[in-house]
């Protein structure tokens, strides 16, 4: 299974668990640590594929739940899959749809066989099972696909988190057995909340299934950052060193640095695009809120350290004007800037890992952002 993939570590930091590597996929290589912009409905909101490339993005994420509802997995399959549909010839990752079923849809029934839910779009009754999640993801045709998992809220009882861990393990086996395409890497997902014993139980359940990569799920779902970092500290070392490790849905720039230092290779998050649409920019000196009146006559660039189109061609005053006037170009430019910021961040971390200076890089960045990113 999963031919056309290889993962090579280039450097491992001596003082932290940070690593730099290169992950080859059927649609090209990904330098890790890597950040995947999120194209929920088969488009990173407001941006063309060439703009993502120019920003340095190598791999995108698309959401199975949304695409299965609209336009439908079979439609995407009949149109040749996600790559030609989106005009993105680089690697793509899809999630299993489970997270959105549990967070967005109206749940009707959950048992070991499957989850039954109502579409958040038209209320129609739908179901998702491990086999169906794989089938849909094979239709969508991403390079990297995910096992269906159960992701309980951070404040759920230990008993329920334990049950979710065991169901996630049983579902992972069924997903692996359901896989028919050999050109997709299927990742197992570790659950277990912030409980050391449950995370170990989850890892131990998944390891015999020998996945080509492992995702850490169930984090950044309401717990404190310190709890997330601690959980990574006792979870990640149990994962095979020679496979990519993906922290799902995380996070702030600080989260990304801290998680790389704890051994994570892959990230995705809606934050750069969602915050960008809301006039919030990540910059080298911390977040900037463009709607603030202080920018009304400011001729200076958003971030003098950034080479993106928003920073090299326009002033803060103009960017603010676009938001005040509710012009589409505001969300477009700030989404683009934030993607550039995230891509530069992971590139810089990678350079720091390769040069053995990741501790210094972390300290410098956190000091510059002053706890605000």
| Both structure tokens of 287 | 């977040």
Report the nearest approach of a second copy to the CB of residue 165 (Å). Answer: 34
Assess whether the previous peptide bond of 251 is cis (omega < 30° from 0).
yes
Q: Which two tokens stand for residue 80?
A: 């040749």
Candidates 25-33, 36-44, 163-171, 345-353 — which segment interacts with a second copy by CB under 8 A? 36-44
Q: Tell whether residue 297 is a contact of a second copy (CB under 8 A).
A: yes
Does residue 294 touch a second copy according to CB under 8 A?
A: no
Give yes or no for residue 119 binding a second copy (CB under 8 A). Answer: no
Shorter beta-carbon distance to a second copy: residue 32 or 51: 51
Among 46, 90, 212, 251, binds a second copy (CB under 8 A): 46
Q: Which strands, in side-by-side order, build the sheet including 106-110? A: 106-110, 115-118, 125-128
Residue among 8, 10, 78, 307 that touches a second copy (CB under 8 A): 78
Which residues have CB under 8 Å from 274's CB, separation 6+?
Answer: none
| Interface mask toward a second copy for 299-318; x: CB under 8 A | x---------x---xxx-xx
Q: What are the phi and psi torsion angles at 171 (to 5°)? A: -65, -35
Cβ 120 to a second copy, closest distance in Å? Answer: 13
Q: How far is the CB of 314 from a second copy (least distance, A)?
A: 6
CB 310 within 8 A of CB 319: yes
Tell me the closest approach of the beta carbon of residue 191 to a second copy, in angstroms: 30
Count of residues near a second copy by CB under 8 A: 36
Residue choice 79, 224, 241, 351 for contact with a second copy (CB under 8 A): 79
Q: Find tokens 């079979």 and name the residue.
A: 74
Q: State the catalytic residues.
A: 95, 268
In whole angstroms, how far apart are CA 306 and each of 74, 81, 206, 252? Answer: 41, 34, 41, 18
Q: Exactly one of 19, 66, 201, 362 binds a second copy (CB under 8 A); which one?
A: 66
Q: Which residues bind a second copy (CB under 8 A)?
A: 41-43, 45-49, 66, 70-71, 75, 78-80, 85-87, 296-297, 299, 309, 313-315, 317-318, 321-322, 324-325, 327-329, 331-332
């Amino acid at each position: 299974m999963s031919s056309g993939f290889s993962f090579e570590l280039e450097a491992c930091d001596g003082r932290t668990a940070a690593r730099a590597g290169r992950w080859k996929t059927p649609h090209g290589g990904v330098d890790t640590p890597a950040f995947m912009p999120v194209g929920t409905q088969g488009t990173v909101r407001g941006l063309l594929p060439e703009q993502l490339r120019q920003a340095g993005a190598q791999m995108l994420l698309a959401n199975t739940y949304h695409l299965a509802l609209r336009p439908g997995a079979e439609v995407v399959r009949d149109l040749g899959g996600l790559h030609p549909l989106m005009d993105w010839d680089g690697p793509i990752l899809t999630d299993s749809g489970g997270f959105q079923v549990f967070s967005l849809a109206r749940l009707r029934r959950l048992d070991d066989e499957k989850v039954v839910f109502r579409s958040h779009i038209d209320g129609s009754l739908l179901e998702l099972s491990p086999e169906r999640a794989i089938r849909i993801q094979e239709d969508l045709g991403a390079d990297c696909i995910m096992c269906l998992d159960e992701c309980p809220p951070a404040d759920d009882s230990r008993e329920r988190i334990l049950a979710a861990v065991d169901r996630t393990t049983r579902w992972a086996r069924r997903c692996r057995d359901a896989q028919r395409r050999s050109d997709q890497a299927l990742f197992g997902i570790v659950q277990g909340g912030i409980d050391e014993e449950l995370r170990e139980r989850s890892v131990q359940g998944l390891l015999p299934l020998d996945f080509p990569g492992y995702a850490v799920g169930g984090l950044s779902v309401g717990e404190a950052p310190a709890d997330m970092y601690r959980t990574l500290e006792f979870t990640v070392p149990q994962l095979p060193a020679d496979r990519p490790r993906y922290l799902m849905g995380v996070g702030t720039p600080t989260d990304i640095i801290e998680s790389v230092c704890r051994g994570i290779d892959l990230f995705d998050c809606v934050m750069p695009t969602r915050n960008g649409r809301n006039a919030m920019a990540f910059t080298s000196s911390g977040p900037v809120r463009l709607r603030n009146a202080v920018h009304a006559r400011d001729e200076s660039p958003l971030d003098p350290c950034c080479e993106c189109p928003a920073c090299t061609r326009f002033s803060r005053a103009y960017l603010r004007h676009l938001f005040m006037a509710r012009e589409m170009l505001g969300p477009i430019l700030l989404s683009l800037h934030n993607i550039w910021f995230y891509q530069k961040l992971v590139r810089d971390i990678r350079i720091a890992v390769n040069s053995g200076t990741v501790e210094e890089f972390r300290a410098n960045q956190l000091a510059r952002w002053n706890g605000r990113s």
